Chains A and B, each alone.
Chain A
Amino acid sequence: MKPLKFMHPLTVRLMHWTNAAAMIIMIMSGWKIYNDEVLFGFLHFPEEIVLGIWAQHALQWHFLGMWILVLNGIAYLTYGILSGRFRRLFFPISPRELVREAVAALRFRLEHADLTHYNAVQKSLYVGVILVVVLQVVSGLAIWKPVQFSFLVSLFYDFQGARLAHFAGMTAIVLFVLIHVSLAILVPRTLLGMLTGGPRLDAGRETPVTPSQASNP
C-alpha cells in the first residue's frame, strides 16, 4: 500500500523554512535600509536587530533575499494551486464563522484540536499574509525600477507612496509572524508538524487517520 501522505509534505516544509529564512533576511535588511531615510521621524530600528553594517550591505542582503523569496514564492504558489492544497486548507472561508471564531480567539477559547483542519481565523490569516507578500513584491518592484515599471509606481500614487506601502506590508508581515510564532509555541504540535510532517492523511477522505488504521493495511 502507498504510504499515507503527511499533512505537510516535505516539499511544503522545505518551502516554508526557505521562506522563513528569506523573510528574516528581507525584514532585517529592510529595517537597515529604512534607517538611512526614515519615513517617520520617531522610528529608527535599533542596530542590534538590523542586518548590514552600512546601508550598502543591507541593500546587498535585500537584493539577495528577494531572489530566494520570489523564486520560492512562485514555487509555493504553483504547488499550492496545482496540488489543491490551497483549496483544501484555505477555502471556503465563511464570514460568519470568521466573526464567531475571531471573538473566541480573542477570549483564548479557540480550539485547534484537529491539526489538519484550519479554522476560519487561520484560513484568513494565511490567505491574507500570502496576499500581503505578493503586494510586497509589487511595491518592491515599483521602488526598485520606478522608471521601467512606472505603471506599478502609479498604483501607489508616487515613489514615496510605494515606499509607504512597502513599509505597511512589512508591518503586516511582522504582526503575522508574531501571532504565527506565538500560536505555534502555544500549540507545539503545530511547530513540530512543520518539521516532521505532522499527522498522516487518509488519501481518500483527506482526514487524519488513527494510529490503528495507519498500521493496518
Chain B
Amino acid sequence: MPLRRPFTSLFRPQRGPDQTVLAEHRDLIETIGRRKLLRGTLSLGALTMLTGCNVSDRDAVQTVLRAVSGFNDGVQALLFDPNKLAPTYAASQVVKPPRFNAYYEIEDLKPVDIGGWKLELSGLIADKRPWSLERIYALPEQEEIIKHICVEGWDYIGQWSGPNLRDFLTRVGADLSAKYVVFHGNDDYMESIDMPSALHPQTILATKYAGEPITDPFGFPLRLRTAVKLGFKNPKWIRAIEVTNSYSPGFWEKQGFNWFSGL
C-alpha cells in the first residue's frame, strides 16, 4: 500500500475569502473567531467521550501533537547508541526485487536522466566538487544485508552495497560536528537525518542491490540505506547532499510523520 498523498484539510476552504467582504464584516468575524476558540476547547475535552468525531487535523490539536513529536525526536536522539549495530541476515533471505514504495505508483516513476547526472555537494563541506557516477563506483564498497522497516508496519530483508557515508563525508571534508545531513532527491523529495545516524557504521550511499546496480524504481543511481532509520528516511534518486546546522523537515515530516524516526 503506498504512503499517503498530500491532503487538503476538510476544515479549510479551497479558496481564500474575498478581502473586501472580510473588511465589511470584521466585527462578526471576530465574534465567530471567539466562538471557534470555545468550541475548539470543548471538543478537545470531549474527545474521549466521542467516537466518529475526528479532531486530529485541527490546528490547535496539531500544534500539541507536533510539539510532542518534536519532544520524541529528542528522546530518540538520547536513546540512539552510535555503536549499536542492527541485526544482519544471510544472502539466502534477501527479497528480490526489493519492495517498491513511494508517494506515487510505480507506473508514474520518472527515471533519473543519467546523461548529465552528478552528485552535488553543498553546505559545510570543504570540497564541494560534484561527483560523477564513475567516481562513486570507484570508491570502496560496503555490503549490508539488513531489514527495511516501513512506518506502515511491513518489513523485508535487502542486500545493499555502496560507499560508507561516514567515509564519504570524511573524504569530502564535511563538518562532522554539524547537526544534519540533508538529501535532495530527483523529484524535489527531500529528507534530513541527524549527524550521529549519518555516521553510523551501517549507513551507506547504496549503488547496488544484491550485487547489481540499483534499478530505477529503487533509487538508481544513488540512494541512502541506513539500518537505523525507518524506510521513508532513506531517500532514493539522490542528486545532492548538504551538511548543515539548520533543521528542515523532509517530505513526510511536513505531513506529520515523526522526523527522527530512528529504529
Contact = CB atoms under 8 A, between A and B. Distances in A.
Instruction: Judge: A and B partners, yes or no.
Output: yes
Interface of A: 20-21, 24-25, 28, 33-34, 36-37, 48-49, 51-61, 63-64, 67, 145-148, 150, 159-160, 163
Contacts of A159: 147, 149, 155
Interface string B230-263: 0000000000000000000000100111100011
Interface in B52-83: 52, 54, 56-57, 64-66, 68-69, 72, 76, 79-81
Contacts, number: 94
Given A24-B48, A36-B152, A53 B66 contact: no
Interface of B: 1, 4, 7, 48, 51-52, 54, 56-57, 64-66, 68-69, 72, 76, 79-81, 84-87, 147, 149-155, 227-228, 252, 255-258, 262-263
A37 B230 CA distance: 15
Dominant secondary structure at the B interface = loop
12 contacts: A25-B48, A51-B56, A56-B255, A57-B256, A58-B56, A60-B68, A60-B258, A67-B68, A147-B263, A148-B80, A150-B87, A160-B155
A146 B231 CA distance: 13
A155 to B, nearest CB: 14
B65 A51 contact: no
Contact of A147 (B1, B86, B257): B86
A163 B150 CA distance: 13
B262 A148 contact: yes
Given A61-B65, A63-B68, A63-B72, A147 B227 contact: yes
B54 A64 contact: no
A59 B257 contact: yes
Contacts of A145: 76, 79, 262-263
B153 A37 contact: yes
Contact of A55 (B64, B80, B152): B152
B263 A148 contact: yes
Given A37-B152, A49-B51, A57 B65 contact: yes
Contact of A51 (B54, B64, B258): B54
